[in-house]
Amino acid sequence: MGVDVWVPRHEAEAEDLVEPADGMNWEELKACVAGCTRCELSATRNNTVFGVGNPTADWLIIGEAPGAEEDRRGEPFVGRAGKLLDEMLRAIGQSRDSVFIANILKCRPPNNRDPKPAESAACRDYLERQIELVQPRIILAVGRIAAQNLLGSDEPVGRMRGRAHELGGIPLVVTYHPAYLLRSPSQKQKSWSDLCMARRLAAERNA
């Protein structure tokens, strides 16, 4: 399955990209990510954050990048935002163990700044390969950075959510990041609508 994603490939073709992820199995890919030095973030990370969950999940959840706690623990979506994501998943009959959770970046940007285009490009084929290995029925893009990178758009989340998108033939739904919902709880109803749409699209592909 070819997945057309967010950054032109020539931007990722630097000399140090000597080991493309295409064709790797899960263990090979995880080891490659753990030892990655493709961009400057490798010099400041404590841990890479490969992703967690079911490697053959129907649902693939994609966030932005690790934060401080994720960098410390090597796991995506921990802390208060992670707990809220867990609650969101439970509301639609899923769990952290039943889905697969990954990020655009595998390393934390300093001070939680937005990823640079070169950093997203360096990580791109890792995520592409994860998508190919999981073969999800639905992708949930969580937050602005994830949605904009995956869809190659500069639209705000408010304009991208509420309708179905597609990535490499897979339905994709955009929703707000749990950290944003913690700051703006009035938007939780919109996220619930997004989750219901994603659940319906996933069920249609199961039919």
Tens of pLDDT, residue by residue over 27-80, are: 999 999 999 999 999 999 999 999 999 999 999 999 999 999 999 999 999 999
Measured between alpha carbons, how far is 85 from 79 in angstroms, rounded to an integer?
A: 10
The tokens describing 58, both together, are 């129907």
Partner residues linked to 170 by β-bridges:
167
Sheet strands (E) in the chain: 52-53, 59-63, 100-103, 138-142, 165-167, 170-175
The answer to whether 79 touches 178, Cβ cutoff 8 Å, is no
The answer to whether 84 touches 188, Cβ cutoff 8 Å, is no
Domains in the chain: ranges and CATH: 9-206 (3.40.470.10)
Q: Write out the chain's pLDDT in tens, 207 residues.
A: 444 444 434 444 444 444 788 899 999 999 999 999 999 999 999 999 999 999 999 999 999 999 999 999 999 999 999 999 999 999 999 999 999 999 999 999 999 899 999 999 999 999 999 999 999 999 999 999 999 999 999 999 999 999 999 999 999 999 999 999 999 999 999 999 999 999 999 999 876
The tokens describing 148, both together, are 């904009």
What pLDDT was estimated at residue 19? 75
Q: Provide the whole-model pTM.
A: 0.89
What pLDDT was estimated at residue 207? 66
